[in-house]
Structure 1
Amino acid sequence: MKVENLKGIGPKKKQFLEKLSLSDTRDLLDYYPKGYEDRSTLYHVNQTEDKKSYLLRLKIIDGGNLRFSGRKSVLTFKAADDTGSCQIVWFNQPYLKSKIKIGEVYYFYGKISRKNNRIDLQTPIVNKTLKKELGNFTAVYPLTKGLTQKDFRNIICQALEIEKIENIIPEEIRLKENLLDRKHAYREIHAPSSLHFQKAAKRTLIFEELLIVQLAMKMLKNKKRRRGYAFVYDKKIEELIGSLDFPLTHAQERVLQEIFQDMKKPISMNRLVQGDV
């Protein structure tokens, strides 16, 4: 299916996708993440480090502070767990002021900024429960300006549902090599249920790609081994060799015999001869 037929794809998003050479759902499935965010492991405030992202479970301990500067806004809340406190910061999201309630506990995922003795959690995702964007491993894609990670993941989810994915690797090989079903592999690459299955999916798709390359090379080799002309060995070759001013080495004689044998066969010869000058 063409990308413009997917839900939420207008002319602008279509152009952004085309910049990434993505024109249909098949292209989308083969556009793999550049990495993953671990939104499944819960951390405490005192375990966090500067410039790293974490999943935290925090209680809101003040009513929030909303400041405006022209059209821009900064919203801050103080929050804490049993190990420490931090300041949660959102830029240009004033609507959250009425949604975040003092005394309530929420799950947050965002990047930590540590400066002096202050800890900021910057523009985090927030939910009351571990669902949707939290509590899992989340794919991160190399995108062009105009596309957000959230929007692109939604597009990928549509492609996974729409695209018909059939197994390429024969079942006996797949079972022997402990590989995933192809549809399962694509799901685990784009929306991994665990790190274990993400690694299994990566191994499956790499194995599949290598198998396709090997089969293509074998087909090319078989094509090159098409019927050709057989040459009959005669005394002129012996006379030519005998006219040389130097004797052939044992290696040279061996290679010549191999070439003569190949020339007698009605199959095109593929041979690289290397020698010192």
Structure 2
Amino acid sequence: MLLQTQVRHLKGIGEKRAEQFAALGVNDIDALFHFFPRKYEDLSNIVPIISTIVGTDACVKARVTSPVRAWKSKKGTPVYKTTVADDTDVLDIVIFNNKYAAAKLKVGEEFLFFGRINSFGNRKEMLSPSIEDPKTSERIRPIYRTTGNMSSKHIARYMEQALSQYGCGIKETLPSDIMQKYQLMPITNAYFQIHFPTDFDEMLKARNRFIFEELFQLQLGMKLFRGTSKEATDKCAKTDYSEEFISKLPFEPTGAQKRAIAEATKDIMSGQVMARLLQGDVGSGKTMVAAALMYTMAKNGFQSAIMAPTEILARQHFETIAKFFKGKKIEIILLTGGMSVAEKKLALSKIKEGTAKIAIGTHALFYDSVEFKNLGLVITDEQHRFGVRQRGALSAKGKGVHVLVMSATPIPRTLALTFYGDLDVSVIDELPKGRIPIETYRIDSTIRERAYNYIKKFLDEGRQGYIVCPLVEEGEMDNVLSATEYYNDISKGAFKNYKVGLVHGQMKPDEKAEVMERFAFGEIQLLVATVVIEVGVDVPNAVIMLIENAERFGLSTLHQLRGRVGRGKYKSTCILLSDVNTEKTQARLKVLCDTTDGFKISEKDLQMRGPGDFFGSKQHGLPDLKLADLLEDIDVFTNAGEAASIILKRDPDLSKPENAVLKDSVERLFARVESS
């Protein structure tokens, strides 16, 4: 029970610090140990200034050669600048809003400087670097996600104290034969090496152990908690009505859509429970496929339920599917948490009586109060945003219910087959006829003004657009504007004559929904946003997107973001803005400029991301794992799946005493995934 001790019992943590840790999701010692570094500063690898590369991080040992100069930016932020040198070259050091750091830089004294190398004119510079005494700091240092005035150094000190004080309470979660077979580092040593590595080899071994453990526990949980299996069912459609449905559509479906309908229809007529993943790129027409299946189920006397991750997406599905079913005498009901009591009561009554053949909603669909008369098909949209238990809870509303999982996240087919091992896979790999491909260009900030004018041209024509900013954590990369700062700047500056809106992940759900609805209704012309719009509403009038600091996003995320435009009849454009000119960044962004095929992009992403790249953003749209990356760590995933099968074969429900710690860990992982 030592690891359940609250962090406030650590020396130096009072009420305010405890609240800051809680904001980071850390309440007890166990959560603190699992609060892994987001990256490391390698102060042991000192690079001559002349050998540093613009756009990459580096550690240089250099002496201060000029007095610190101070001034204030246009916004009033204190700025400090000096020049340092080693035996090979000079480097400008620029510090923002940190008088203490600037004050210790005395001419002639030597320091370690760690940070991103940038260029300004023909000189190299480092913005807001870490500054350390070379006599005590030549080591690998963990960098943690921060909040408020609690710095990464503060967290490292508390971590060191916790490992020393509570390390004896760490219990091994993996069976000894599994550890031996896959050569995994013991858990106590792994905690020490991932937080305070003696060298990168040891850190990699520790990291690999936790990646294996996370993927091992994930697959154990999926096998224990998932709500689908290839079992016999009486929810069997006797007659296929998909051709009747298609014949009444005002357009001709693509060959891929027809193939997906045929594959899924065969499942629901087979007498066995369907468990199928429907993958389709953004705008490929997955909703029409779902509608065809629900039509066949309704005509055979069964109800269907489709669950979306947000209320605004649920409403969009409702409106889209209602159009498909216009004049077909099949009642469709919407059920969301935001409806009035009277509206909910009516919806629940119609679902229970069976008069509503199709129910569309959010998490509200699997509340205990929701009773279906004859549920036959459950469809989850963007399933990765629901927990495995939630998927099971909805399908459990009826015995032998068919399940279709729809995902717009481009995953290589081999990976989809591995990750969704319990699901058959259908792929929609064609876009509807007449869809105009999105043109994508890469620029740098020297022509930002031209890009702004280009956006204004579309806004003046009555169209709408997005500007996407990277999620910038407090204290990270001070030279990158956050979405809020960016919004304040352009709404009072370059776009002061236009209606500009702002949406980001820190807003309350109803606030986000309100902004997105205003944008959808055309009340907002230009929306400044973070990746919160990656899965968003269709706005056919949105035709232009500018993505700031595009190098900070994964390829799959960039593709998902780009999919927010080009959903109507107008030609659409996506502009990727990046000042990072490394070969890797140029190659990555070129992929986006060369193709709009999400599956080709995901395959390329898988090829380009090599092992050991621990500092990039995680791919979005997959389970929220702390360390594991299901594209990068596919080999580990496969081994972990094999190990999970070994364990479950000898202990199917993890009820044996020797697996008590393991079962508890699995429970906690799924609780964490589903609460995120």
TM-score of the two chains, using structure 1 as the length reference: 0.66
Look up the match of 1:177.
Answer: 182
- Partner-residue secondary structure (3-state), 2:20: helix
Among candidates 113, 116, 124, match of residue 118 of structure 2: 113
Distance 1:146 1:46, change over 3 A: same
The aligned runs of 1:80-95 (5 Å cut-off) are 80-95=85-100
Aligned pair count reads 223
- Partner of residue 107, structure 2: 102
2:49 alignment partner in structure 1: 45
Q: Give the Å deviation of 1:21.
A: 2.5
Q: CA deviation at 1:194?
A: 2.0
Aligned with residue 13 of structure 2, among 3, 6, 9: 9
* Deviation at residue 144 of structure 1 after TM alignment: 3.9
Residue 114 of structure 1: SS of its match in structure 2? strand
SS in 2 for 1:101: coil
Give the match for residue 34 of structure 1: 38
Letter in 2 for 1:83: T
- The aligned counterpart of 1:129 is 134
The answer to which structure, 1 or 2, has the higher relative contact order (CA under 8 A, 6+ apart) is 1
Q: Which of 118, 132, 144 is equivalent to 1:141?
A: 144
| Corresponding residue for residue 264 of structure 1 | none
Choose from 75, 79, 91 the match for 1:74.
79
Distance in 1 between the 2:213 and 2:197 partners?
19
Letter in 2 for 1:152: I
**Superposition deviation, residue 98 in structure 1:** 5.7
Tell me the CA shift for residue 218 of structure 1.
8.5
CA–CA distance in structure 1, aligned partners of residues 163 and 32 of structure 2 = 9
- Contact 1:13 1:146 (C-alpha < 8 Å) held by counterparts: no
Deviation at 1:205, TM superposition (A): 2.3
Is 1:161 the counterpart of 2:160? The answer is no
Q: What secondary structure does 1:179 align onto?
A: coil
- Deviations 1:221-271 (CA, angstroms, capped at 9, x unpaired): xxxxxxxxxxxxxxxxxxxxxxxxxxxxxxxxxxxxxxxxxxxxxxxxxxx
Amino acid across the alignment from 2:89: G
How much does 1:175 deviate?
Answer: 3.7
The corresponding residue for 2:659 is none
Moved more, 106-115 or 204-213: 204-213
1:2 Cα deviation after fit: 0.9
Contiguous gaps of at least 5 residues in structure 2: 226-399, 403-676
Identify which of 12, 25, 29 aligns with 1:25: 29
Deviates more, 1:34-43 or 1:193-202: 34-43
User: What is the SS of the residue equivalent to 2:150?
Assistant: coil
Over the aligned positions, Cα root-mean-square deviation in angstroms equals 3.4
Q: Give the distance between the partners of 1:143 and 1:97, measured in 2 at CA.
A: 22
Q: Deviations for 1:126-154, whole angstroms, at most 9, x for unmatched residues?
A: 2332534x421x33334444432222222
AA paired with 1:140?
I
By how many angstroms is 1:85 displaced? 0.6
Q: Which amino acid aligns with 2:143?
A: V
Larger radius of gyration: 1
| Mapped partners of 1:212, 1:104: distance in 2 | 51
Consecutive unaligned residues in structure 1, runs of 5 or more = 221-271
CA contact (8 A) 2:60 2:112 kept: yes
Partner letter of residue 162 of structure 1?
Answer: Q
SS of 1:43 mapped into structure 2: coil
Q: Does structure 1 residue 65 correspond to structure 2 residue 68?
A: yes
> 3-state SS of the aligned residue for 2:114?
strand
- Alpha-carbon distance in structure 2 between the residues aligned to 1:139 and 1:127: 14
Secondary structure in structure 2 of the residue aligned to 1:86:
strand
TM-fit CA distance, 1:214: 6.7
Change beyond 3 A, Cα 1:168–1:68: same
Change (3 A) 1:183 1:117: same
Q: Distance in 1 between matches of 2:210 and 2:91?
A: 42
Contact 1:179 1:200 (C-alpha < 8 Å) held by counterparts: yes
- Partner Cα separation in structure 1 for residue 220 and residue 70 of structure 2: 63
1:219-258 pair list within 5 angstroms: none
Following the alignment from structure 1 to structure 2, what is the Cα–Cα distance between the partners of residues 204 and 31?
15
Amino acid at match of 1:89: V
Residues 94 and 21 (structure 1), Cα distance of their counterparts in 2 relative to 1, 3 Å cut = closer
Moved more, 103-112 or 170-179: 170-179
For the Cα contact (< 8 Å) 1:107–1:130, is it kept in 2?
no
Q: Is the 8 A contact 2:113 2:132 kept in 1?
A: yes
How far residue 53 of structure 1 moved from its aligned partner, in angstroms, is: 2.3
Shift of 1:212: 4.9
Q: TM-score, normalised by structure 2?
A: 0.30
Q: Give the stretch that moved more between structures: 180-189 or 161-170.
A: 161-170
Which residue type is aligned with residue 56 of structure 1? V
CA contact (8 A) 2:43 2:112 kept: no
- Do the aligned residues in 1 keep the contact of 2:41 with 2:114 (CA within 8 Å)? no
Instruction: Note if contact 1:13-1:147 (Cα within 8 Å) is conserved in structure 2.
Output: yes
Change in 2 beyond 3 A, CA 1:185/1:106: same
Q: Is the 8 A contact 2:95 2:102 kept in 1?
A: no
Distance 1:74 1:217 in 2: 52
Measured in 2, the distance between the counterparts of 1:10 and 1:77 equals 37
Going from structure 1 to structure 2, the CA distance change for 1:83 and 1:175 (only over 3 Å counts) comes to same
Q: Per-residue deviation at 1:182?
A: 1.0
Partner residue of 1:192 out of 188, 192, 197: 197
Alpha carbons of structure 1 residues 149 and 97: separation in structure 2 relative to 1, 3 Å? closer
Task: After superposing the two structures, state which structure 1 stretch, 68-77 or 198-207, moved more.
Answer: 68-77
Query: Distance in 1 between the 2:129 and 2:222 partners?
Result: 49
Structure 1 distance, partners of 2:165, 2:101, is 35
Q: Are the counterparts in 2 of residues 36 and 140 from structure 1 also a CA contact under 8 Å?
A: yes
Relative to structure 2, which stretch is displaced further, 168-177 or 105-114? 168-177
Alpha-carbon distance change, 117 to 213 in structure 1, aligned in 2, over 3 angstroms:
closer
Match of 1:243 in 2: none
Q: Any idea what the Cα deviations from partners look like across 1:194-233, whole Å, max 9, x if unmatched?
A: 221122112222333455567778889xxxxxxxxxxxxx
Whole-Å Cα distance in 1 between the matches of residues 224 and 103 of structure 2? 65
Q: Pick the structure with more strand per residue.
A: 1
In the alignment, the residues of structure 2 paired with residue 94 and residue 117 of structure 1 have an alpha-carbon distance, to the nearest angstrom, of 27
- How many Å separate the matches in 2 of 1:130 and 1:121? 21
